[in-house]
Amino acid sequence: MNFTSVNPILEPKVGCIAATMEIIGNKWTALILRDLFSGPKRFCELERSVGTINPRTLSQRLDDLEAHNIITRESFAEVPPRTEYTLTSKGEELYPVLQQMAAWGAKYDKNCL
């Protein structure tokens, strides 16, 4: 589908929303980000907090977020080894996006009431 018109109030040029969705549009990604807004998390903490996510899928989503400079991964030389995931400043800029998603869900989803 080729979109040639754009709503300049919503999107300054064609592709801006698509670029955002490329990063946060995959299933589970918004929930991973939600949980990282409360601070650094280990893989197992994210696995528990996100829900029924497959570990392989979580790993893929974390890799994607890291590749887009939304999160950083820090490994600590400890026994047992520890790895933590933290939002970058670019990732922190997604806060109002997720906040608006939550507000919309609270307004229209009966499970959020």
**pLDDT average per 10 residues of sequence, the chain (113 residues):** 65 85 94 97 95 94 97 92 95 96 90 72
pLDDT at 84: 97
DSSP per-residue letters across the chain:
-------TTT-SSTTHHHHHHHHH-STTHHHHHHHHTTS-EEHHHHHHHH-S--HHHHHHHHHHHHHTTSEEEEEE--SS-EEEEEE-HHHHTTHHHHHHHHHHHHHH-GGG-
pTM: 0.86
Q: What is the pLDDT of residue 17?
A: 86
pLDDT of residue 4: 58
Q: What pLDDT does 57 receive?
A: 96
pLDDT attached to residue 11: 82
The structural domains of the chain, with segments of one domain joined by +, span 16-105
CATH number for the region 16-105 comes to 1.10.10.10
pLDDT at 113: 62
What pLDDT is attached to residue 2?
52
